[in-house]
Amino acid sequence: MSRTFVGWPAFPEAAAAATHDERLRANVTRATHTIRGKRARLVAERPDWEDLRDSAAALKDDVLAHLDSYLLQVEEQVTAAGGTVHWARDAAEANALVTALVQATGEQEIVKVKSMLTEEIGLDNALEAAGISARETDLAAAIVQLGDDLPSHVVVPALHRNRAEIREIFVREMGRHGRPAPDGLTDDPPQLAEAARLHLREKFLKARVAVSGANFLVAETGTVVVVESEGNGRMCLTLADTLISVVGIEKVVPTWRDLEVFLQLLARNATGERMSPYTTTFSGVTPGDGPQTFHLVLVDNGRTRALADEVGRQALRCIRCGACMNICPVYERTGGHAYGSVYPGPIGAILNPLLKGPDDPQTASLPYASSLCGACNEVCPVRIRFTDVLLELRHQVAEGDAAVKHPAEKAALRAIGAVMEHPAAWNAAVRAAGTAGPLVPKNRLPGPLGGWTDSRSVPEIPKESFRSWWKRTDGGTR
């Protein structure tokens, strides 16, 4: 079984452990700052950047408002082009469908190209249980899989690993899964890339079945669009006999003209490139060219739950560019694993509770995994207002229907609130704070505030509050 995020600890616990890992921190900081810089330069090239963001947000909102009819259009077009469309309500249905489709081909070893959705639904383990081995072919995803690791970023899943670690994984693991790493492999990037090329090429040439994700689904022609950097995806999409694309229902764009908007935004915002090196589009089946059997599995798995949330539904606009995590000061200190999902960072903090419901301690902790600094709001190409959604989800956790409540915190805040709302009590409390100075322990605040003082001195409580001063001096005039 490969590792999964099932049973992952809540964010504060996972994050605290991550902040102590200095190598992780160095790797994440280096990578995110590099991408940030490249992105900033390329965004500055476009005087119409803000207009593109407006268009992209409006287009996605239109899709989400009419998702039912766009999806039927996708089905109609894909079917007309010789493909077969399947619908999956949840992870179990999707996994059963894909497993059955692979079993029907009789193949035991298949290739996959980076698909976060298959990670989200745990497809690898479902296939493994049926005796089918699925090997990742996107370089970063392959590094994660070889290392029996978990993805930590939506664009660069192995972002938390440095070159030396990758070399070590290649040397140790490649031989167990196919062609071994060349003798004398160093951590020189071209050498690492060549080792990966040789190892993966063997897989592409052997595999008869490929599973892919998709960046977009163009409704008017039923076209699947896959955007990537290495060309490994294109190998998967073109060399196999049977192609199974597993796609979330929110990936639709109505027309090719709409696609143009997203292709201009995606590469610049994701990797700081004007255009992604490989943009592969395919519609159904073409006789004598590429896969001769094509299945499209459309997956809900919580998306309609998110869609029903008036404030939260904007999270479904996400095109997985990763810019929100690259800019996030919290992600920079914790890396992606702390979020317990293939979707980390600011989008993970909102999307996971929206998809799954903020009903267990892990998903309920995610909306609080933010200082609300708002840096993500500024870089999102589809203008997701993270801070609005975070506050809405906190409200659902604190006061709404979420099954998890925080009774202790609620009681404490209610007590504070009662004092704050009553002037007489408030005046008394402020006076008490002024005189309580010496009673407050010097170095550590009590109770839940204790963590605060682990890295900070306690502020001195002044002898006289502002209101006492105002009263004593009649507003500073006496």
Residues of this chain that interact with another protein (CB under 8 A) are: 11-12, 15-16, 19-20, 25, 329-330, 333-334, 365, 367-375, 377-378, 387, 391, 393-399, 409-410, 413-414, 416-417, 420-423, 426-427, 430, 433-434, 448-449, 451-459, 461-462, 464-467, 469-471, 475-476
- Considering the complex, state which of residue 326 and residue 465 has its C-beta at the smaller distance from ligand SF4: 326
Q: Which option in ligand SF4, another protein, none does residue 290 bind, with CB closer than 5 to 8 A by kind?
A: none
Cβ proximity of 33 and 228 under 8 Å: no
Among 141, 227, 263, 323, binds ligand SF4 (CB under 6 A): 323
- Considering the complex, state which of residue 164 and residue 469 has its C-beta at the smaller distance from another protein: 469
* Least CB distance to ligand SF4 at residue 11 (A): 17
Provide the residue type at 467 as one letter.
R
Report d(CA 357, CA 235) in Å as an integer: 37
DSSP E strand stretches across 101-259: 109-112, 133-136, 209-212, 216-218, 223-228, 242-248, 252-253
Per DSSP, helices labelled H in 272-379 are: 303-307, 323-327, 329-334, 345-356, 361-365, 375-379
- Considering the complex, state which of residue 241 and residue 388 has its C-beta at the smaller distance from another protein: 388
- Considering the complex, state which of residue 62 and residue 464 has its C-beta at the smaller distance from ligand SF4: 62
Burial 453-467 (b: 16+ CB within 10 A, else e): eeeeeeeeeeeebee
Based on its alpha-carbon atoms, the radius of gyration of the chain, rounded to whole angstroms, reads 26
CA-closest candidate to residue 111, choices 234, 203, 193, 19:
203
**Total interface residues for ligand SF4 by CB under 6 A:** 14
x/- string (CB under 6 A) for ligand SF4, residues 263-302? ----------------------------------------
Provide the residue type at 132 as one letter.
I
Q: Which option in another protein, ligand SF4, none does residue 371 bind, with CB closer than 5 to 8 A by kind?
A: another protein
Under rule CB under 6 A, residue 380 binds ligand SF4: yes
Report d(CA 105, CA 83) in Å as an integer: 16
Under rule CB under 6 A, residue 91 binds ligand SF4: no
Q: Which option in another protein, ligand SF4, none does residue 240 bind, with CB closer than 5 to 8 A by kind?
A: none
Under rule CB under 6 A, residue 321 binds ligand SF4: yes
- Considering the complex, state which of residue 367 and residue 381 has its C-beta at the smaller distance from ligand SF4: 381
- Considering the complex, state which of residue 132 and residue 267 has its C-beta at the smaller distance from ligand SF4: 267
Per DSSP, helices labelled H in 148-278 are: 163-173, 189-206, 232-239, 256-271
Q: Which option in another protein, ligand SF4, none does residue 471 bind, with CB closer than 5 to 8 A by kind?
A: another protein
Under rule CB under 6 A, residue 324 binds ligand SF4: yes
Stretch that binds ligand SF4, among 171-179, 224-232, 378-386, 406-414 (CB under 6 A): 378-386
User: CA–CA distance from 105 to each of 98, 235, 237 (Å)?
Assistant: 11, 19, 17
Question: Hey, is 290 helix, strand or coil?
Answer: coil
Q: Torsion over CA of 149, 39, 281 and 261, rounded to 10 degrees?
A: 140
Residues that bind ligand SF4 (CB under 6 A): 154, 318-324, 347, 379-382, 384
